[in-house]
Structure 1
Amino acid sequence: MLAPLLIMLREGLEAALVVAIIATYLKRTGRGAWIKTIWVGVLFAVALSLFVGAGLQAMQAGFPQRAQEAFEAVVAFIAVGVLVWMVFWMRAAARSIRDTLESGVEAAFARSGPGQGTVWALIAMSFFAVAREGLESVFFLLAIFQQAPGPEAPLAALAGIVLSIALGWGIYAGGLRLNLRLFFRVSGLFILFVAAGLFSGGLRSLHEAGLWNLALTPAWDLSQVLPMSSVLGSILAALFGYHETPSLGEVLAWAVFLALTLPFFLRPAPVAQPQEA
C-alpha cells in the first residue's frame, strides 16, 4: 500500500523536520537542556490526534448505512482539502521554515527569559507543528481506510511513520542529507493524484447516500479487463481511487480536479529578489 506509506512518510517527515530544526537550534545555541521540553508538546499532539481519530471512527460506527455513506463523503472531501493545502503550503513555506522556527525560538526566550513562559512557548511550538500533521493524517487515513479495508493500509501507514521518525533522527544527528526539495516535489505530485481519486470516490459516496444523482451514466466498464478484485486493480484503487465502472460524474470530477491543481503545482516557484542595500 504505497499511498498511506508515502502520505504518512511525508506528513511524519514534515513534523520531524520541525522538531529537528527546533532541537538543532537549541543545541547549537547552547540551550540543549531545553530539548526535552519540546517532546512534551509532541506527546500531547500525538495523544490529541489519536483521540480525534478514535472519536470519528466511533461516531461513524453508530450511523445507519446511508448516513455512513454521507459521512464517508464528508471525510473524503475534508481529506482532499487537507492534502491540497498540505502540498501547496509546503511548496510555499519550505524556503523559509527554518528561519521562521529559529526566530520563534529566539522570541520565546526574549519574551520571558529561560523561565516558565519559555517552557510553554517551546511546548506550543512543537505541539502545533505535530498536531497539524497529526490531524491532517486522521482525515486522510479515515478516507483511505474506507476505500481500502483490511490490515495492509494501517500497516503501511505505520511503516511510513516509523520511516519518517528514522529520517528525522538522521537529519537531527547530522549524518543524513536529503534533497528535501526534490522529495516534497515528487511526493506532492503523487499526492495530488491520490487526492483526485479521493475526490471522485467522495462523489461516489454521495450517490450511494442518495445525495448526488447527476451524471451517473457509466463512463466505461473495465470489469472484464481490469477488475478491482485483481492485484493491479486493487493497487490502483488504493492509490488513485480507481473504479472498474466509474460514472461520468466521477471521471469528470477526477479530471477537473487535476486540471485545476496541477498547473499551479508544476509552475516554477518564484525566485526571491535580492534586496537593495
Structure 2
Amino acid sequence: MQVVNHGVSAEAMRDMEAVSEEFFRLPAADKAPFYSEDTGKPNRLFSSTTYEIGGESYWRDCLRLACGSPVGDTKNDWPDKPQKLREVVEKFVEPTRGVGMELLRLLCEGMGLRPDYFEGDLTGGDVIINVNHYPPCPDPGLTLGLPPHCDRNLITLLLQGAVQGLQVSYKGNWINVEPVSNAFVVNFGHQLEIATNGLLKSIEHRAMTNAAVARTSVATFILPAADSLIGPAEELVGEGNAPRYRSVTFDEFMRVYKTVGARRENVEKAFRL
C-alpha cells in the first residue's frame, strides 16, 4: 500500500495551542456572544458537561467548532477573536484530519480490510474540534475535568498541551499520560470498535483537575455522517467469529449514547448482541 505523508507541522501544533490559550484569556465580554447551552449548535462555547442520566457537572470550559472537509465557508461560523483564530484552526484541522485518515488506512492494512474501508460516509461527518480548558481548581479532590468516558466517534487526535491531566484506564487502574511536545495522543472511539467487531477497543479515559495551573487541550474528532450505517465489517465476521454488535446509524447511536452515558459498560450493554 502506498503511504502518503499527511503530517502536521510542529509550527501548526504550537500555533493551535497558542491561539487556544489566547481565546480563553479573552475578556468575558468578548466570549459571551459565542456562549450557548444549546447542544444542537455545531459551534459554541459552553461550560462543564452534564449527562442526562446523572446531571453531574465537571470543571471544564469548551470551545466546540464544526469543520467541513475542506474547511471552506464553515470557518465563517467560528469566533473572529483572537484575530488569527480562524486562520490557525484551518491550517491545523485539515492536515490533522489527514493524519487520522492515514492511521485508519494503516489499521485497515493490519486487519485485512481494503485500505479505503473507512472513507466515504464512515468518515463523512464534520470534523469536530473541542478546545478544552480546565481552569485551576481550588479543590481537585472534589471534581474531575471530564468523567470516565469513551469517545463516540471513529478516531480522536488529542493535542494535550504541556500540563499533565489525561488518564487512561488500564487493568482497573488509572494511568497518567505524560505530555509529549508536538505529538498527538490517538484514541480509538466506539465507532471503530463496532466496525472492527471488537478487534480494536475504544479507550476509556478521563481528565483530572489541577490546583495550581490551567490546562488547555485540543481534541480533533473524525466522525461518520449522521445517516451512515455502522456495523461489524463483513471481512471480520464469519464462522467462529459472530457479530458482536448490532448495526446502527450514527444518528441512532448518538441518541442512545446521550441517554445511557459514555461509560464503556453502558455503551456495550446498549449495542452488544
TM more than 0.5:
no
* Structure ranking higher on relative contact order (CA contacts 8 Å, 6+ apart): 1
Larger Rg: 1
Coarse TM-score class (shorter-chain normalised): under 0.3
Q: Which has the higher helix share?
A: 1
TM-score, normalised via structure 2 length: 0.26
TM-score, normalised via structure 1 length: 0.26
